[in-house]
Amino acid sequence: MLPDKEGSGVGGARMSPEGEDPSVSLFREYLRIRTVHPQPDYDAALRFLERTAEELALPMKKIEVCPGRVVSIMTWHGTNPNLKSVLLNSHTDVVPVFQEHWKYDAFTAFKDADGNIYGRGSQDMKCVTIQYIQAVRRLKAEGRQMLRTVHLVFVPDEEVGGHHGMETFVEHPEFRKLNIGFALDEGLANPSDAFTVFYGERNPWWITIHCPGSPGHGSRFVENTAAEKLRHVINSFLNFREKEKHRLNTSQCLTLGDVTTINMTMVKGGVAYNVIPAEMDVSFDLRIPPTVNLQEFEKLIQQWCKEAGEDVTYKFAQKHMDQNMTSTKESDPWWSAFSQACREMDMTLEKEIFPAATDSRFIRAVGIPAIGFSPMNQTPILLHDHNEYLNERVFLKGIDVYAKLIPALANVAASPDEA
């Protein structure tokens, strides 16, 4: 067990240190719940959310989208429930931890002398969950009422591709009952003073190229080997990777979300040192911007396979084709409300395509505008990294931000098609 200097308890951490802001204590409590893959403790998370819903006096519905995978929905009813609602989405799971690389135990939520709170999920995305909750708590305590209904939705398994979370939930009848008009989901930290806002995402493609060839003894120059074909495939993919990397590094206008990344992630084949294998496989992780013609890009992959040699084939483990992007025009009522609220708080926004993948892609795919936003500026990007942390000052400021954004969005006037 790694040291935690705050006292006794789980890993040496105290639940509610004296003098600590209650929101920070709640955040740290949530971080201690081990919703970490491959065996996330979702039951503990559900108990935490149920208790929170009771404190907020909000009804909470639980939808089991598949065995052991529950989507929880807290609902704050608006004064006009017939209008389209606002969705505040967050996921409850976190990625695995390599504890030997952490300064403190990743599930004690250790806070250092500078107020940095270390824990898996501190940036991705348990911070946002608690910021939503505490902003709603504040608004309700002030006696505020929203025109539109606000749903706080907590989904499992986002970190394994969403196959049992939002991806499944959007197909569930309960999702349609929410009558969603606009959604907020997670974003990224920003090391600068600005706040990053994501209006679209790159499409993740996970692909395996199968290269069959002539087997034989390792002492011979066998023709048409699987390895030769494999080399050609790898060169084609990685040459394209270098071109995109160069394009990003030589342009002041492009961000990571504007280019295609390709990374070789797995290679399989062979049985012995002296046996030339009859087949070899190589797998790649591709992230493709929504501005790219996906059909043409697949034709390019087909060409690379054909050039590599006879009978080279490919198979997708994941292939997302959604190219919906959320409007960031000031004429759009949702974006106008969001951006105006940020201007009133003197926040500088940087609009980008999200470089990885979040639940927003499933929401946009069914025609609902969604913004990816985590109010974490002046913060290094550490999601999925060792020693993930968030400073308590930044965390508390995020609650202030959502306490302004939620009313701005939930009080957007009825559109003509809603009247």
**Phi, psi dihedral angles at 58 (to 5 degrees):** -115, 135
In sequence order, what are the residues at sequence separation of 6 or more whose Cβ sits closer than 8 angstroms to the Cβ of residue 23? 130, 134, 395, 396, 399
**Is the pTM here over 0.85, yes or no?**
yes
Which residues are part of the catalytic machinery? Answer: 93, 158
Per-residue pLDDT, 294: 98
What is the spatial distance between Cα 3 and Cα 103, in angstroms, rounded to a whole number?
8
Query: Distance between CA atoms of 274 and 260, rounded to whole angstroms?
Result: 38
pLDDT tens digit at each of 419 positions of the chain: 333 434 323 333 334 566 899 999 999 999 999 999 999 999 999 999 999 999 999 999 999 999 999 999 999 999 999 999 999 999 999 999 999 999 999 999 999 999 999 999 999 999 999 999 999 999 999 999 999 999 999 999 999 865 679 999 999 999 999 999 999 999 999 999 999 999 999 999 999 999 999 999 999 999 999 999 999 999 999 999 999 999 999 999 999 999 999 999 999 999 999 999 999 999 999 999 999 999 999 999 999 999 999 999 999 999 999 899 999 999 999 999 999 999 999 999 999 999 988 999 999 999 999 999 999 999 999 999 999 999 999 999 999 999 999 999 999 999 998 86
Domains of the chain and CATH, by start: 10-187+358-410 (3.40.630.10), 205-319 (3.30.70.360)
* pLDDT on residue 16: 53
Q: Where is 225: in which H helix or E strand?
A: none
* Measured distance CA(371)–CA(281) in Å, rounded: 37
Which single residue is written with the structure tokens 């198979």?
315
- Cα–Cα distances (Å) from 397 to 18, 62, 153, 400, 402, in that order, read 21, 30, 22, 5, 9
Question: Residue 344: its pLDDT value, please?
Answer: 98
**CB crowding 95-132: b at 16 or more within 10 Å, else e:** bebeeeebebbbbbbbbeeeebbbbbbbbbbbbbbbbb
Q: Which residue has the tokens 């529950």?
A: 70
> Residue 90 in contact with residue 165, Cβ under 8 Å?
no
Q: What is the largest CA-CA distance in the chain?
A: 82
